[in-house]
Amino acid sequence: MKQTQKRIVLGVTGGVAAYKAAELTRLMIKAGWDVQVVLTQAGAAFVTPVTFQALSCNTVFTDQWDARIGNNMPHIDLSRGADAIVVAPATADLMAKVANGLCDDLLSTMIAARDCPLLVAPAMNKQMWENKPNQRNVAQLKADGVIVLGPDAGDQACGEVGMGRMLEPAAIMQALEAFFQPKLLRGKRVLITAGATFERIDAVRGITNTSSGKMGFAVARAALEAGAEVTLVAGETAQPTPFGSRRINVQSAHEMLDAVEREVAHTDIFISVAAVADYHVVNQSEHKIKKDSPTLTLELAANPDILAQVASRKYAPFCVGFAAESEKLLEHAQAKRKRKHLPLLVANLVQDAMGADDNEVILLDDAGEHRLPRAPKLEVARQLIAHLAHLYQTTLEGKQK
State the catalytic residues: 158
Of the candidates 107, 307, 381, 388, which one interacts with ligand C5P according to CB under 6 A? 307
Question: Closest CB to ligand C5P among 9 and 311?
Answer: 311
Of the candidates 126, 336, 382, 387, which one interacts with ligand C5P according to CB under 6 A? 336
Q: What's the CA angle centered on 175, arms 13 and 183, to 5 degrees?
A: 135
Question: Closest CB to ligand C5P among 245 and 272?
Answer: 272
- β-pairing, 358-365 with 206-207? unpaired
Smallest distance, Å, CB 344 to ligand C5P? 11
- Regarding 306 and contact with ligand C5P (CB under 6 A), the answer is yes
In our burial notation (b when 16+ CB lie closer than 10 A, e otherwise), range 286-298 reads: eeebeeeeeeeee
**Sole window of 76-84, 96-104, 220-228, 319-327 interacting with ligand C5P (rule: CB under 6 A):** 319-327
Tell me, by CB under 6 A, how many residues bind ligand C5P.
12
> Can you tell me the distance from the alpha carbon of 309 to that of 317, in angstroms, rounded to the nearest whole number?
11
Helix (H/G/I), strand (E/B), else coil: 87: strand
Question: Closest CB to ligand C5P among 151 and 213?
Answer: 213
- Regarding 108 and contact with ligand C5P (CB under 6 A), the answer is no
- Regarding 305 and contact with ligand C5P (CB under 6 A), the answer is yes
Question: Closest CB to ligand C5P among 44 and 274?
Answer: 274
Give percent helix, percent strand, percent coil of the chain, each to the nearest 5: 35, 25, 40
> Can you tell me the distance from the alpha carbon of 349 to that of 321, in angstroms, rounded to the nearest whole number?
14
Question: Closest CB to ligand C5P among 8 and 310?
Answer: 310
> Can you tell me the distance from the alpha carbon of 74 to that of 186, in angstroms, rounded to the nearest whole number?
37
For residue 365, CA distances in Å to 99, 185, 347, 369 come to: 49, 19, 11, 7
Helix (H/G/I), strand (E/B), else coil: 45: helix
- Regarding 270 and contact with ligand C5P (CB under 6 A), the answer is no
> Can you tell me the distance from the alpha carbon of 61 to that of 74, in angstroms, rounded to the nearest whole number?
8
- Regarding 276 and contact with ligand C5P (CB under 6 A), the answer is yes
For residue 169, CA distances in Å to 25, 35, 206 come to: 9, 15, 37
- Regarding 35 and contact with ligand C5P (CB under 6 A), the answer is no
> Can you tell me the distance from the alpha carbon of 286 to that of 304, in angstroms, rounded to the nearest whole number?
23
- Regarding 303 and contact with ligand C5P (CB under 6 A), the answer is yes
Of the candidates 39, 78, 274, 361, which one interacts with ligand C5P according to CB under 6 A? 274
**Sole window of 60-68, 289-297, 301-309, 355-363 interacting with ligand C5P (rule: CB under 6 A):** 301-309
Smallest distance, Å, CB 309 to ligand C5P? 8
φ and ψ of 153, to 5 deg: -105, 155
**Sole window of 117-125, 140-148, 303-311, 350-358 interacting with ligand C5P (rule: CB under 6 A):** 303-311
- Regarding 323 and contact with ligand C5P (CB under 6 A), the answer is yes
- Regarding 322 and contact with ligand C5P (CB under 6 A), the answer is yes
For residue 171, CA distances in Å to 6, 16, 82, 95, 315 come to: 17, 18, 21, 20, 36
Of the candidates 44, 82, 191, 253, which one interacts with ligand C5P according to CB under 6 A? 253
Q: Are 358 and 372 in contact (CB under 8 A)?
A: no
**Sole window of 38-46, 80-88, 107-115, 318-326 interacting with ligand C5P (rule: CB under 6 A):** 318-326
Site of interaction with ligand C5P (CB under 6 A)? 253, 272, 274, 276, 303, 305-307, 321-323, 336
